[in-house]
Amino acid sequence: MRIAFLTAPEGVEQIELTDPWEAVTSAGHEPVLVSTKAGRVQAFNHLDKADTFAVDAVVGEVPADSFDALVLPGGVANPDLLRMDEHAVSFVREFFERGRPVAAICHAPWTLVEADVVGGRVLTSWPSLRTDLRNAGATWVDEQVKVCDHGPGKLVTSRKPDDLKAFCETFLDVFAEEASR
């Protein structure tokens, strides 16, 4: 499977990028770092700068249908910047329109709100997004991982870095199940 990891040029929570990336690679899949600009993305450990990572593709220049699934890492600034980028929002929306699975952790559901794909879905996130998600028509739950198959494509969401192990295991299972259909 070819799996897109969508991030802004800065602000992605490093562990929410690297742990899922490693899980995808270990499972024999191809992760692809997609960003809104070419070059490198600056990751953070909460509010402190961490490592940088090379961008493989620029959103708006690579079609969403060239991927089997999408992972949206969190970080506070990352999804806030993504939801302000028209190409990033369209890229995310297209995964849902095509019925392809999506996984989002921590603050990443902010981008889902902007893509208008959470209405009628049950999901989890960092607790501060609860009101935003409810206002967008979602049902928010405080669970380690939530899989929602209401609407086109399955959505896997998780709350925080402490949930990464369960998040990675769950989205890999869901992605494999969807690929076998």
Residues acting as catalytic residues: 107
Show the domains of the chain with their CATH numbers.
2-179 (3.40.50.880)
Confidence (pLDDT) at 172 = 97
Confidence (pLDDT) at 106 = 98
Q: How far apart are CA 1 and CA 6, in angstroms?
A: 16
Angle (CA) 96 99 105, round 5°: 50
Low-confidence ranges of the chain (pLDDT < 70): none
Nearest to 9 by CA among 49, 46, 37, 44: 37
Q: How far apart are CA 53 and CA 40, in angstroms?
A: 5
Q: How far apart are CA 144 and CA 158, in angstroms?
A: 6
Cross-strand pairs, 58? 35
Nearest to 108 by CA among 39, 61, 164: 164
pLDDT in tens, 109-150: 999 999 999 999 999 999 999 999 999 999 999 999 999 987
The answer to whether 125 and 159 have CB atoms below 8 angstroms apart is yes
